[in-house]
Amino acid sequence: MDLDAILRSCLEGSQQAWKALVDAYARRIFNMAYQFCGSREEAEDRTQEVFLKLHGALPKYDFGKNFTAWFLTLAKNHLIDEYRRTKWEKTQRDDFDERVLAHAAAGGPEESLVTKEAQALVWEGLNRLSADMRVVIILRDLQGKSYEELAEILTLPLGTVKSRVNRARIQLAKVLQEYRGELA
């Protein structure tokens, strides 16, 4: 069944179609939420809220549009709104080794030359970025979205997206530099 058919069945109230939709997007949304807020429990709550919102907003979805970008925009908006409402940046992020690597999905790209130390610093460093900067880093560098997809999700012009990604990367690189300075 293609995505449009799944969505139409969801609108008709099919539980099976809803399950298929959850299976297709849960991992993506959960990882986005986890990378954004840093706590597994928070991420689970946010993911559930995003799917509740999706269920309510589905009748308003325009079938001519890209569903993934539309859904990720909805998720991004919810994460940023909740972040501003609850100020999670003050909370601790999960320990990278114990909670992130331990639950890593099989077959992921973690077997690389990059050190775990840099990954752990990036994980911690995300907390030092503003919500807008954090989202662009997550979508572009952690989830590997193209600039065009990012422009669609963020509903911003391509040039603005590129310059925002560049600024976010510079901020994160400087955070990495600071952490190393503190550790040395």
Residues forming the site for other proteins (CB under 8 A)? 13, 15, 18-19, 22-23, 26-27, 30-31, 34-35, 40, 44, 47-48, 51-52, 55-56, 100-101, 103-106, 108-110, 112-115, 118-119, 121-123, 125, 137, 141-142, 144, 162-163, 165-166, 169-170, 172-174, 176-177
- Least separation, in Å, of the C-beta of 86 and other proteins? 20
* Smallest distance from other proteins to CB 113, Å: 8
Contact 50, 75 (CB under 8 A): yes
Minimum distance of other proteins from residue 144's CB (angstroms):
7
Q: Work out the burial of residue 92: count CB atoms within 10 Å of its CB; fewer than 13 is exposed, 13-18 middle, 19 or more buried.
A: exposed
Place of tokens 């990954």: 119
Closest CA to 4 of 51, 65, 47, 77: 65
Is the Cβ of residue 30 or residue 88 nearer to other proteins in the bound state? 30
- Residue 51 or 83 having the CB closest to other proteins: 51
User: How far is Cα 77 from Cα 1, in angstroms, rounded to an integer?
Assistant: 29
Among residues 59, 177, 184, 44, the alpha carbon closest in space to that of 118 is found at 177
Tell me how far, at minimum, the Cβ of 68 lies from other proteins, in Å.
16
Torsion of CA 141, 144, 146, 149, to 10 degrees: -100
Q: Considering beta carbons, is residue 27 or 65 the nearer one to other proteins?
A: 27
> Smallest distance, Å, CB 5 to other proteins?
17
